[in-house]
Amino acid sequence: MRTDARPPRLDRTATRAATATAAAEPMAERDAQDAQDAQDAHFYSQMYLIRRVEQTLLDLFSQGKLTGTVHTALGQEACAVGVVNALDRERDVIFSSHRAHGHFLVYSDDVGGLIAEVMGRRTGVCGGVGGTQNLHVRNMYTGGIQGGIVPCAVGAALAEKLKGSGAIAVVFLGDGTMGQGAVYEGLNVASLWSLPVLFVLEDNQYAQSTPKALEHAGDIATRPETFAVDRAVVDVDDVRSVYEAAQRAVRHVRERSRPFFLALNTYRLGPHSKGDDTRSPDEIEAYRARDPLPRLAARLGDEEREAIEGRVEERVRQAVEAALAAGVQDLAEFTERMRWHTR
Amino acid sequence: MAHALTSPTYVQSLRKTLHDVMDQDPAVVVLGEDILDPYGGAFKVTRGLSTRFPDRVLTTPICEGTIAGASVGLALRGMRPVAELMFGDFATLATDQIINHAAKFPAMYNGQVTVPLVIRMPMGGRRGYGPTHSQSLERLFVGTPHIKVVAPSHFHDAGAMLRAAIYDAEPVIFVENKVLYPQRLRLEATDTLISRESVGAPDSYPTVVLRNYAPTEQPDVTVIAYGGMSYLLAPLMARLVEEEIRVLACMPGCLSPLDETPLLEAARATGRVVVVEENSADFGWGAEVAARIYGACYAQLRAPVVRLGAAPTVIPAAKALEDAALVSDESLLSAIMEVLS
């Protein structure tokens, strides 16, 4: 983990906590190690699930079993796992974009609902209407318009603040989205009105096919400073460091009712959508060597890892089978629902 | 007429509704530019609100996209936002939020969420504000699925319509024509020359039917209009009493989606129809109305439907130019005479 040149003050709190742990008695140390191992296993099961679901979606696409498009985040799983696990799932509100399968899975664990949705089935979480880019479950909303969800997240945070719910709003952005004016309107208003919004930048260095150097002047991660929004930068090599940084960020947002900007340096190992990768294979291989998934796998025992993988494979297999067997919603049913819905 | 003098103006009616709903319902949030007291908004619709409800009246930076987008987020999370765009022309800056977010969220999430927001937009010319502050851009939103476009005339209970919009489950674009703000609402059944009938649910967006003749008489011509056109239409109808031209005017409160039933009835009553709007008429709302009339009443038409609107250009700043570009009582009279000939 590389923290930013100007780490947030909360970093020192974490250091104090770590020192305290080191000084504790051996029993507590062992308990802490057990907790860390359990967390590793839990995070691995989530990261592996995201990886396998997205690989499966790409396979299904190649086989002609799903149509349209599918944007995957292979290699970026640690962002979703690290951040969403730091949230209060009961009350916090999540907005995400076109590349949100991972966020969705960590938040809802609804493998069947996701796969069916991407495959356009009636059993999908949005009945096949929203598709891969437009997912909704409980307090989570994703949308395919780059940057458009930022003002929505600001409004959601305002609603939660007015209601006194203690919830925060989180909005996931990509580096490409940082070109949109709506992002900066949102940063300005979130800071001006002291709203509990956590901005999470998943900087995978490419906007579809275009490298960051052709999209942005200056350093996008420092832009929040001009809006008086505190920030941190984390290299996403290890899900633990993402999780710890996200916990600090969430605490900052919730306790101070202030926005925070967490920039995650990551890399997309797969294509933007399907077979549309024009990046240098050498570059991709260099990042593959830093893939956080095998790094985490190496911390688990073989037996435990294989058990997790086996369970995930079975869940994905069953989800695909169920989706293939499910029908498609008919238009009359959908329009009738919308008619009643709006009365 | 004495009765009319005691009725509230259009702006007073809207303002009273905002005060009442904010007082009654803590979920209502009002946001927009320059809306705080003592300024109270460019057209004073929000005057007094920030003094009474400081936590729920938010003056925003100049960022129409975020005014609309924050309203979407508020609405998704259980609030009832009422946003003001200072001028309707600025709706272009909010259009991504209106079309891609407010309108799409409920449907693309398969009916699992509602986005009950209102975006108020002062539209229209005749005030010399020039091309970027005078247009009637509701034309961009009519026909968009899953939003309503609502436009009270001064023969509508504007405040009641705003209340209905605030409690509508769907996003509502609420069009306020600027010339109507100082007009007194005319909700009485009759005055000396014009009778008024409200068709449809009074707590929603009724269609107003105006007649400048006795109920026993047959009308000569049907005029279909909305919103600010009432400003021209009512005096012209009064004037035409003397000429013995009996006008049946029909003004829907909701432009889109459109309850065509009262319009088609009015079209059938005369077989001679003028559709008039402040927008330029090409590809406009009036074209949709005309198409529906042709589709449903072709056999009963006695003349082609005449569509009337502004010149297909910007709304000029110079008064004489602006007057020439917009529909006037004279051009409306000419259209009526054309369909009667």
Alpha carbon distance A120, B102 (integer Å): 23
pLDDT given for residue A343 in this prediction: 56
Alpha carbon distance B22, A252 (integer Å): 32
Q: Are A316 and A56 in contact (CB under 8 A)?
A: yes
Q: Lowest-confidence range among A16-20, A121-125, B128-132, B254-258?
A: A16-20
What rounded mean pLDDT belongs to chain A? 91
What rounded mean pLDDT belongs to chain B? 96
Q: Is A186 on the interface with B (CB under 8 A)?
A: yes
With contacts defined as CB-CB under 8 Å, which chain B residues touch A182? 65-66, 69, 96
A22 or B139, which is more confident? B139
Average pLDDT over residues B2-8: 68
Environment class of residue B268 by beta-carbon count within 10 Å: exposed (0-12), middle (13-18) or buried (19+)?
Answer: middle
Alpha carbon distance A332, B141 (integer Å): 24
Q: Which amino acid is at A96?
A: S
* Facing B74 at nearest CB: one of A127, A145, A155: A155
CA A311 to chain centre: 22
Q: Are A70 and A274 in contact (CB under 8 A)?
A: yes
pLDDT surpassing 50 at residue A279:
yes
Alpha carbon distance A343, A152 (integer Å): 24
Quote the tokens at residue B324.
């020439």
Backbone angles phi, psi at B251, to 5 degrees: -130, 100
CA triple B162-B167-B169, angle to 5 deg: 120
Q: Is B58 on the interface with A (CB under 8 A)?
A: yes
A124 or A30, which is more confident? A124
pLDDT given for residue B285 in this prediction: 97
Cβ contacts from A onto B, under 8 A: 135
pLDDT surpassing 90 at residue B215:
no
pLDDT surpassing 70 at residue A187:
yes
CB atoms within 10 A of CB B154: 27
Q: Is A257 on the interface with B (CB under 8 A)?
A: no
pLDDT in tens, A5-36: 343 333 434 444 444 455 556 788 899 999 99
Q: Name the pLDDT band for A44 (thresholds 50, 70, 90).
A: very high
pLDDT surpassing 60 at residue B272:
yes
Quote the tokens at residue A90.
């009961």
- Beta bridge partners of residue A169, listed in sequence order: A93, A197
Verify whether the Cβ–Cβ distance B65 to A334 is below 8 Å.
Answer: no
A206 or A341, which is more confident? A206
pLDDT surpassing 80 at residue B2:
no
Kindly write down the DSSP assignment for every residue of B201-246, as one continuous string. -TTS-PEEEEESS-TTSPPSEEEE--GGGHHHHHHHHHHHHHHT--
Q: Is A136 on the interface with B (CB under 8 A)?
A: yes
pLDDT surpassing 70 at residue A105:
yes
pLDDT given for residue A270 in this prediction: 87
Q: Is B291 on the interface with A (CB under 8 A)?
A: no
Verify whether the Cβ–Cβ distance B56 to A162 is below 8 Å.
Answer: yes
pLDDT in tens, A217-241: 999 999 999 999 999 999 999 999 9
pLDDT given for residue A19 in this prediction: 46
Point out the catalytic residue in the list B133, B146, B154, B156. Answer: B133
pLDDT given for residue A4 in this prediction: 41
pLDDT given for residue B6 in this prediction: 83
pTM: 0.94
Verify whether the Cβ–Cβ distance A145 to B55 is below 8 Å.
Answer: no
pLDDT in tens, A149-163: 999 999 999 999 999
Verify whether the Cβ–Cβ distance A154 to B101 is below 8 Å.
Answer: no
pLDDT given for residue A277 in this prediction: 84
Which residue bears the tokens 């975006």? B119
Which residue bears the tokens 């095998």? A294
Kindly write down the DSSP assignment for every residue of B96-165, as one continuous string. IIIIIIITHHHHHTTT------EEEEEE--SSS--TTSS--GGGGTTT-TT-EEE---TTS-HHHHHHHH
pLDDT given for residue B293 in this prediction: 98
Average pLDDT over residues A43-68: 95
3-state helix, strand, coil in chain A (%, to 5): 55, 10, 35
pLDDT given for residue B287 in this prediction: 97
B133 is catalytic: yes
* Facing A155 at nearest CB: one of B69, B96, B110: B69
Average pLDDT over residues B227-237: 96
CB atoms within 10 A of CB B1: 7
Q: Is B105 on the interface with A (CB under 8 A)?
A: yes
ipTM of the complex: 0.95
Average pLDDT over residues A45-52: 98
Quote the tokens at residue B141.
């939103």
Portion 154-173 of B in contact with A at CB < 8 A: 169-170
pLDDT given for residue B190 in this prediction: 74
pLDDT given for residue A24 in this prediction: 56
To the nearest whole angstrom, how far is the Cα of A154 from the nearest Cα of chain B? 6
pLDDT given for residue A203 in this prediction: 96
Q: Name the pLDDT band for B4 (thresholds 50, 70, 90).
A: low
pLDDT in tens, B153-190: 999 999 999 999 999 999 999 999 999 999 999 998 87
Alpha carbon distance B157, B169 (integer Å): 20
